Amino acid sequence: MSTHEETPEEHLPSEQREHGAEAVKRPENPFADPGLPPHEHRVQDIDEAAAKRSERAVAFLFALSMVATVGFIAAYVSVPQDKSIYVWPLGHISAMNFSLGMTLGIALFCIGAGAVHWARTLMSDVEIPDDRHEIGASPEVTAKVKADWVQGAKESGLGRRKLIRNTMLGALTLVPLSGVVLLRDLGPLPGTSLRHTAWKKGKLLVNMNTNEPLRPSDVVVGSLTFAKPEGLEEHDHDFQKEIAKAALMIVRLQPENIKDKRELDWSHEGIVAYSKICTHVGCPISLYEQQTHHALCPCHQSTFDLADGARVIFGPAGHALPQLRIGVNDEGYLEALGDFAEPVGPAFWERG
Ligand code: FES
């Protein structure tokens, strides 16, 4: 049964009601290629003055990119790293990060905007349809591509519009310099700085919470105390750099529970001082289990036995925590008897 027979007449479109379903003409192929609309010339194609204006606009964008790249380098060498500025709506931010981001952003944007404006207004915009063909070009097609390439290069005006070409080459040559100057941050080499910390003979152990020098009586069995070297204050310029190497954790063990002879020799009445910096990738260790004497790093669960030379008993850490040799001075305060005997924290490539 046909659709026409199933549908009541009053529900058919008016055209079908008047002429019957057969009378409605349908296109033979609704998906036929409609072809290209007629080509419309842009104002730059017919007005040389407009083309010149576009050329100057493109050159201006490329020149602006060059200025921004020079600004990037100038900002990198002249803006102090610790200077902050107020920028609405971001608030207080690093002046160096802001100026580097802005200048590099402008440099890259101007190159992109210049290229787009050039292509949209000055390069040929003639539509060139092509039929689908087999993958893999024949020699004739290869020759045609080469010819098209040469013609495209000619039509882009690369040879004729020297102002654009030269400023574009200048912008493209300068912009990689932004990355080159950043290579400076790879240096200088750390030298021996990773092998030494702020600890040395006679430095008092200062409680990091109270900022008071520690006496042996301040460290009780079962407690975990964090300490820093005397004289290292939070407002110091290099505080973060130094505390990242010098932070200590101090626990008191029963001397008879200490299994490692050197650990016992380097302790004071069962008080042992170990680097707080995990030897895996450097997280600060912050958990201590007094029954087992285990210290646990929260990052990847490396576990160290503080009663046995802080050797690794679980987890990815590669070696034991370095111990600091401690004693008591004439005034009864805990003091270091030297620096760590080995580098603290994770292994590094020149550690040997
Ligand atoms: S940093 Fe401590 S276990 Fe990974």
Which residues are bridge partners to 225 per DSSP?
250
Task: Verify whether ligand 1 is closer than 6 Å to residue 303 (CB atom).
Answer: no
What's this model's pTM, rounded to 2 decimal places? 0.56
pLDDT tens-digit map of 302-316:
999 999 999 999 999
Degrees to nearest 5, angle at CA 290 with 287 and 292: 100
The ligand 1 atom at the shortest distance from the C-alpha of residue 285 is 2
Of residues 29 and 342, the one with the higher pLDDT is 342
Nearest to 247 by CA among 152, 320, 324: 324
Site to probe by mutation for ligand 1, drawn from 249, 275, 280 as the one with most ligand atoms within 8 Å of Cβ, is: 280
Instruction: Tell me, in angstroms, the distance from the centre of ligand 1 to residue 253's CA.
Output: 24
Lowest mean pLDDT among 57-71, 152-166, 335-349: 152-166
Strands 303-305 and 84-87: unpaired
Helix axes 95-121 and 48-78, enclosed angle (nearest 10): 160
Exposed/middle/buried for residue 280 (C-beta within 10 Å: 0-12, 13-18, 19+): buried
Rounded to the nearest 10°, the torsion over CA 297, 214, 267, 330 is: 160
Residue 27: phi, psi to the nearest 5?
-65, 145
pLDDT of residue 2: 40
Of residues 52 and 153, the one with the higher pLDDT is 52
- The mean pLDDT of the chain is 89
Task: Verify whether ligand 1 is closer than 6 Å to residue 50 (CB atom).
Answer: no
pLDDT tens-digit map of 41-59:
999 999 999 999 999 999 9
Q: Are 62 and 168 in contact (CB under 8 A)?
A: yes
Task: Verify whether ligand 1 is closer than 6 Å to residue 315 (CB atom).
Answer: yes
Of residues 134 and 93, the one with the higher pLDDT is 93
pLDDT of residue 100: 96
pLDDT tens-digit map of 215-272:
999 999 989 999 999 999 988 888 988 999 999 999 999 999 999 999 999 999 999 9
* Rg over CA atoms, the chain: 38
